[in-house]
Structure 1
Amino acid sequence: MNITLKESLAARGLALSPWTGFYVLQSLLINLALGYPFSLLYTVAFACVLHLLWRAAPRAQKVLLAAVSLIAAFYYPFAQAYGAPNFNTLLALHSTNVEESTEILTIFPWYSYFIAVFIFVLGVIAFRRKHEEKRAWSKIELLCLAFCIGVAFVRPVQEIAWDGVFRISKIGYPVVRFAHDVVTSNRQVLDEQARLAQFANQKDTWNVVAVKPKYHTYVVVIGESARRDALGAFGGHWDNTPFASHVNGTLFTDYIAASGSTQKSLGLTLNRVVDGKPQYQDNFVTLANRAGFQTWWFSNQGQIGQYDTAIASIAKRADEAHFLKSGDFEADKNTRDEDLLKMTAQVLSTPRTQPQMIVLHLMGSHPQACDRTQGKYDVFVQSKETSCYLYSMTQTDDLLSKLYEQLRNTGESFSMVYFSDHGLAFKERGKEVQYLAHDDKFQQNFQVPFMVLSSDDKTHRVIKARRSANDFLRFFSQWTGIQAKEIASPYRFISEQKASPVYITNFQLQKVDFNHLGTDPFSTKSR
């Protein structure tokens, strides 16, 4: 009786085979591996697509599954840390050197690679499925076809509510979305690089109307990946910044970075921005040059080429620029931020009549933090990587202390500003493998330290008023006494005056109200 029923169901296409469950599992893992939120609807729909393709065009199904499984396996570890592909993902792909790529690959937990291999193995199994005899489609399969087509239009219809336009390119299947997002984001990156190349050799358009510097030497220290709540001086739970916590100067406890990654954040911070687009020829270095300052740029970050990145483009505008890392395949992984102090010592040892501006670009707390600290840490918090991250703040604090002493020993008046480009978010929170990575969903991704130390400071001052990195050029103008027609100053940056609401630029290049972001607090648990 059971055999007869089974044969009858099979004849009508109603019997469930092991491959049905197999395709559901594959669909689920591929969905997660490409970085999109879990959706039961798309998981079931894509499993139906795989089944129907097997019935209609098995060779095409095998090619599709082979390609998708391979891509999903490679992307899975990145998806867990960075989500679906976006402008920032593709920008990193274009501008990251081999050294940084190696560091990124070593920060992911081992089980991410295990799941990636598992996805690949499932793809191999599916690819080896033997062909079956063709038969007519059942009613259930025709319903599956209608269901797959209907699901394809769910997201395009939803998009109409947002902008009133129906776009077939907005199909919600993760595989389709991934391809669309990669192509679109890559086009945006190429457009941005084309703009960068266009402006690279253009002269600046600054119209300087006054130059009244208060100090002889100005120093800009650009930190890397430092969350404000990881520094004791800025409200962190650990006493890991003895210099910044006590030095006479001004500390800002509510400074917000422009974006969540180095290139985009500093591109919006250090350049004049028009209609949301950086004008790469008009940056703080060219402004200082135009005002008659002698400018220096010393970096411990890689330089892939002369103008490959927004930051390299700005650096090359200085009178002299030196990179500890060349950024090529032989880039030295072991260069330290402290090595930059040898360069500043050389500059400061020679008396000069011109006002000076020295820029230091640190590696700071860039993941992996344990590579920055050689595995050293003072206090253990949740994981070794998190503990190293906290100690990397102490290393930066020590560098600032030594730089400050160098400046004091010159006998000249000086002022020094330190800030970080962006913060980081916790991944694998609460686990032994907890680490930090770039993100754009939380306030802590943008809450960074900002402080100004001057030779005539008499007190340790804290400013609680919110400030935005989008207003950095306003600060720079007021700080250096360089006034330009292109820079308006509606409020005093170093004050408690209220400024405009703060917006950040996320990885999809959208302006987002900072107050609408979620939170990602720094847990003090030691495990």
Structure 2
Amino acid sequence: MSQEITTGKSTEQRLRLWASALLLTGLMLYGLGYLHINDAESAMRRLLLAALTCGFYLYSARRGWATKWACGISLLFSLYVMLGIGRGYGYPTTVLAASALETDVQESWEFLLNLDVTDIALGLIAAALAVFYGRLRPQALRRFSAVLWVALAILNVFGLFTVQAIKSVVKYRSEHAVLEAKPGAVDWQIERVERNRNLKVLVIGESVNRRYMSVMGSPWKTTPFLDASPHVAAYAQYHAPAPNTVTSLVRTLSYSSMADGSFDPDRNVMALAHAAGYTAHWISNQGSVGKHDTKIAWIARQADTYRFLDQPPAVAPYRDDFAMLNVLRSQLETPGTIAPDAVIVLHMMGSHPDACERVTDMPIAFQSGQGHHIDCYLTSLRKLDLFLQALDGLLQTWRPDQHEILFVSDHSLRVEPASDWERWKEQWHMPNKNIYVEPNIQEAYDTALLHIDTGRKEAMRNATPISGYDFFHLYANWLGVKSRMVQPDKNLIAPTSSAPIQVYNWQRMVPWSELPDAPVFAPAPAEGGGAVSAAAPAR
């Protein structure tokens, strides 16, 4: 009888061990990004990785100290699972390393305060399973090889994650070290510069999905100023080079190639402005120079003057894009600071998630029925419209009918209709992740390009496919630069097609047309366009 009881307990222990090992394996592979739908890993490699990870758990159970080590490793990685990075973006890459190292304290807090409850739950479940596994005391267990255990401890999802994370950081550091150097000498092969007397302002937006801009044909009335202005040219088929800020903007603002995704940071918008004889100024509401400076800040520092709003002295409204207009107004009012035909760059925080943090000073102007977060996002596009209207008004007082504004956004976002689960979370005031970066979908690259020219008397809507890899040529022709390096047919008046469009999806260049598309939700007819009110933000 006692032997039967012992055998029964042994069988029960083995079942618990196998169950915990399998569940932990699945959770860790999923939470760390190795079952991500966009992974380049083949199914066989994922199966092999799962087998090695499960084998690590099963073999560790043969010794108490090995079990504790496996439990501790699992608990450590459970914390990462809670962040939702693996589930949302996949395994470690240079892009993720750059995003982590280049973020500031404010963005980090925003990220932590908006963790998805699903990711937190997965992390807590993984931690609970790890503790359960660590408390198992299976009988044991034949021979145990420390060498084999070390091999299994390395050859599993944790080992692969660690190696890829280190490689990503090292690669990022090597790129960062190069970009910290002074810009190299560039022969622009300029033949002549046909300058006009207009003040030129380049506005760099953030996370703008043109599919929800009424000036681009959307039924959402998000851009009433741009809709009504006769000076606006809207390019309804502009595609960002890449799906996030780090990878996209450096290609947008540098001389780059759609053929292979390469770019030359020395040949950038500031360097060309200087070569063409312009004075250049940069005002940024994004990250400043510092330990984790971005590639874009490196370009910004090449301006004649640059100002980052996260550096003292503070400018009201604090860390709001409209504060850049106050800085610009002060510079315009200071004699000799800005030449009448200078080039000015304004780098917005824009609709950067969390969008609700960008519109705290104005009423939520839309009721989409898709959750508060999307209402905030649509309102942030309205705020962009108000920003461009205010900028145009400011320039009109200083350079009446002699100014131009060129707006380009770094990338778009996936704006996903709320599921029943997300609606439930909305009721309990839980943050949703239905607005996010998604590298393998067309919508991620469908962003905005606009040109406001006081000399234009009739609005223009252009549907020519334009690649962000050709933005540098548009910019150069805007400055009037004639050079063998600049394609004259890539201009803002009548741009030639960039088709077939290719984009960089964090891993390789892919045809945009071959990426899957996603539905865009429209306002309910009874809501009359979804708009409630369009009050300007308080200043």
Q: TM-score range by the shorter chain?
A: 0.7 to 0.9
Report the counterpart of residue 164 of structure 1 in structure 2. Answer: none
Residue of 135, 144, 157 corresponding to 2:142: 135
2:482 alignment partner AA = Q
1:442 aligns with 2:441: yes
Change (3 A) 1:45 1:103: same
Contact between 1:306 and 1:313, CA under 8 Å: does it hold in 2?
no
Deviates more, 1:107-116 or 1:465-474: 107-116
Report the counterpart of residue 482 of structure 2 in structure 1. Answer: 483
* Alpha-carbon shift at residue 5 of structure 1 (Å): 10
1:435 alignment partner AA = N
Contact between 2:443 and 2:518, CA under 8 Å: does it hold in 1?
yes
Instruction: List per-residue Cα deviations over 1:148-194 (Å, max 9, x = no partner).
Output: x9xx9xxxxxxxxxxxxxxxx9x8x5434423432332232122112
Instruction: List per-residue Cα deviations over 1:202-243 (Å, max 9, x = no partner).
Output: 444433221112342111000001111121211323111101
Distance 1:80 1:426 in 2: 17
Contact between 1:205 and 1:282, CA under 8 Å: does it hold in 2?
no
1:258 aligns with 2:241: yes
* Alpha-carbon shift at residue 412 of structure 1 (Å): 5.3
Report the counterpart of residue 88 of structure 1 in structure 2. Answer: 95
* Alpha-carbon shift at residue 327 of structure 1 (Å): 10
Report the counterpart of residue 266 of structure 2 in structure 1. Answer: 281
1:194 aligns with 2:177: yes
Change (3 A) 1:115 1:460: same
Report the counterpart of residue 367 of structure 2 in structure 1. Answer: 380
Report the counterpart of residue 162 of structure 2 in structure 1. Answer: 179
Contact between 1:73 and 1:119, CA under 8 Å: does it hold in 2?
no
* Alpha-carbon shift at residue 90 of structure 1 (Å): 0.7
Report the counterpart of residue 411 of structure 1 in structure 2. Answer: 400
Unpaired runs of 5+ residues, structure 1, are 138-144, 153-168
Deviates more, 1:319-328 or 1:280-289: 319-328
Residue of 30, 33, 43 corresponding to 2:31: 33
Report the counterpart of residue 68 of structure 2 in structure 1. Answer: 62
Distance 1:5 1:128 in 2: 20
2:229 alignment partner AA = V
* Alpha-carbon shift at residue 284 of structure 1 (Å): 0.8
Residue of 223, 244, 257 corresponding to 2:205: 223
Distance 1:192 1:174 in 2: 27
Counterparts of 1:414-493 in structure 2, within 5 Å, are: 414-426=403-415, 429-430=418-419, 431-432=422-423, 433-493=432-492
Change (3 A) 1:235 1:484: same
* Alpha-carbon shift at residue 506 of structure 1 (Å): 1.6
Distance 1:327 1:79 in 2: 36
1:359 aligns with 2:342: no
* Alpha-carbon shift at residue 79 of structure 1 (Å): 2.3
Change (3 A) 1:428 1:90: farther
Residue of 237, 242, 250 corresponding to 2:224: 242
Q: TM-score, normalised by structure 2?
A: 0.82
2:405 alignment partner AA = M
Distance 1:2 1:17 in 2: 20
Question: Alpha carbon RMSD of aligned pairs, Å?
Answer: 3.3
Contact between 1:304 and 1:326, CA under 8 Å: does it hold in 2?
no
Change (3 A) 1:15 1:344: closer
Report the counterpart of residue 329 of structure 2 in structure 1. Answer: 345
Unpaired runs of 5+ residues, structure 2, are 37-42, 424-431, 525-529, 531-539
1:390 aligns with 2:390: no
Distance 1:181 1:427 in 2: 30
Contact between 2:200 and 2:343, CA under 8 Å: does it hold in 1?
yes
Distance 1:53 1:203 in 2: 58
Residue of 284, 288, 303 corresponding to 1:303: 288
Aligned to 1:448, the other structure's residue is in SS state coil
Contact between 2:489 and 2:496, CA under 8 Å: does it hold in 1?
no
Distance 1:403 1:333 in 2: 15
Report the counterpart of residue 536 of structure 2 in structure 1. Answer: none
Report the counterpart of residue 141 of structure 1 in structure 2. Answer: none
1:75 aligns with 2:59: no
Aligned to 1:289, the other structure's residue is in SS state helix
Distance 2:493 2:457 in 1: 15
Change (3 A) 1:449 1:391: same
Deviates more, 1:403-412 or 1:455-464: 403-412
1:317 aligns with 2:302: yes
Aligned to 2:21, the other structure's residue is in SS state helix
Report the counterpart of residue 495 of structure 1 in structure 2. Answer: 494
Contact between 2:202 and 2:346, CA under 8 Å: does it hold in 1?
yes
Deviates more, 1:212-221 or 1:457-466: 212-221
* Alpha-carbon shift at residue 4 of structure 1 (Å): 4.8
Distance 1:282 1:197 in 2: 15
Distance 1:8 1:397 in 2: 71
Contact between 2:197 and 2:340, CA under 8 Å: does it hold in 1?
no
2:380 alignment partner AA = S
Contact between 1:369 and 1:392, CA under 8 Å: does it hold in 2?
yes
Distance 2:312 2:440 in 1: 29
Report the counterpart of residue 59 of structure 2 in structure 1. Answer: 52
Distance 2:415 2:67 in 1: 38
Contact between 2:101 and 2:292, CA under 8 Å: does it hold in 1?
no
Distance 2:66 2:244 in 1: 39
* Alpha-carbon shift at residue 427 of structure 1 (Å): 6.5
Distance 1:440 1:331 in 2: 35
* Alpha-carbon shift at residue 61 of structure 1 (Å): 4.3
Contact between 2:279 and 2:339, CA under 8 Å: does it hold in 1?
no
Percent identity for Structure 1 against Structure 2: 24
1:179 alignment partner AA = T
Change (3 A) 1:263 1:28: same
Aligned residues: 491
Instruction: List per-residue Cα deviations over 1:413-462 (Å, max 9, x = no partner).
Output: 22211111001124694223353122211111110011111111011110
Instruction: List per-residue Cα deviations over 1:23-46 (Å, max 9, x = no partner).
Output: 111111111110122779454653
Contact between 1:464 and 1:496, CA under 8 Å: does it hold in 2?
no
Deviates more, 1:288-297 or 1:14-23: 14-23
Report the counterpart of residue 20 of structure 2 in structure 1. Answer: 22
Change (3 A) 1:28 1:327: farther
Contact between 2:205 and 2:410, CA under 8 Å: does it hold in 1?
yes
* Alpha-carbon shift at residue 2 of structure 1 (Å): 12
2:81 alignment partner AA = Y
* Alpha-carbon shift at residue 7 of structure 1 (Å): 3.3
Change (3 A) 1:219 1:306: farther
Contact between 1:292 and 1:355, CA under 8 Å: does it hold in 2?
no
Q: TM-score, normalised by structure 1?
A: 0.84
* Alpha-carbon shift at residue 489 of structure 1 (Å): 3.6
Distance 2:124 2:300 in 1: 41
Contact between 2:25 and 2:50, CA under 8 Å: does it hold in 1?
yes
Aligned to 1:363, the other structure's residue is in SS state coil
* Alpha-carbon shift at residue 259 of structure 1 (Å): 0.9
Aligned to 2:203, the other structure's residue is in SS state strand
Contact between 2:284 and 2:346, CA under 8 Å: does it hold in 1?
yes
